[in-house]
Amino acid sequence: MQRFTIFSILLSLTLLFFIGDILSHNYLKADISGIDNAKDLNVATAEPLLAEPKIDEETTEPVKQNSEDEVTLSSISVIEPELSALNFQLVGFSNPILKEAQFNGSVFQIIDFSDQTDAYVYQSNIFEDETYVGAVSEIKYPTEIGAFQGYLKIRERAMGLLDYGEVNETNTYGDTSFYFNHKIKTKTVHIVVKESDTLYAFEYDYGYHEKMKQLFGILP
């Protein structure tokens, strides 16, 4: 009877140890499996800390800029004559008066310039008190290149008017200039001066020539 009791106790302890070992082994496997699943979950849901920015192709086009050739007279806010009475006072005129006149489409009344649609012409008659001095045509272009092309066209057309006179290109004033020696109006000076984006076509009495030469040196 005593041996049976001891055997029962040993068997019970063995069973308890065996059951405990099974339970602890299953628990550890479940815990490790849970950790691995958590790691897999973190890897699957993680995102890069620095994502590549998306580029909107429509916003990366270069900004278009107007070239000089696209400048037009409409882009010039205000068309005003460059010359004023002050310019004439600076060269010795005592009471100069400039009166606006209508441009008839011809420079010096003989050189046709009516086809110049890319230029604005401002015509003025020049007086000293009540005495008529002459006239000036200010031909304004959007660009200096346009003004030079206009100068060449006037010179070319003037060279074709041999019955009226001849061209004498001296380039003495402004960027470039030429005289037109009129065969009939021998006491009248005719000169075209290019200064920047403007052409000045002067026609005046020879008696004012010295003062006018000073004016050509300070054209605006």
As a whole-number percent, the residues of the chain with pLDDT over 70 amount to: 64
The pLDDT assigned to 46 comes to 39
The pLDDT assigned to 96 comes to 97
SS3 at position 118 = coil
Q: Is the pTM of this model over 0.85?
A: no
The pLDDT assigned to 120 comes to 93
pLDDT in tens, 34-76: 444 444 444 444 344 334 434 344 433 333 444 444 444 444 4
Span 206-218, average pLDDT: 97
- Using pLDDT thresholds of 50, 70 and 90, give the confidence band for residue 111: very high
Q: Which domains does the chain have, with CATH numbers?
A: 1-57 (no CATH), 85-216 (3.40.1000.70)
Per-residue CA distances from 70 to 76, 143, 144, 150, 201 (Å): 12, 10, 13, 17, 26
Q: Average pLDDT of the chain?
A: 78
As a whole-number percent, the residues of the chain with pLDDT over 90 amount to: 61
- Using pLDDT thresholds of 50, 70 and 90, give the confidence band for residue 6: low
The pLDDT assigned to 44 comes to 41
User: Is the separation of the CB atoms in 149 and 164 below 8 Å?
Assistant: no
Q: How close are the terminal C-alpha atoms of the chain, in Å? A: 138
Task: Name the residue among 108, 124, 93 with its Cα closest to residue 189.
Answer: 108
User: Is the separation of the CB atoms in 105 and 114 below 8 Å?
Assistant: yes
The pLDDT assigned to 75 comes to 42
pLDDT in tens, 156-188: 999 999 999 999 999 999 999 999 999 999 999
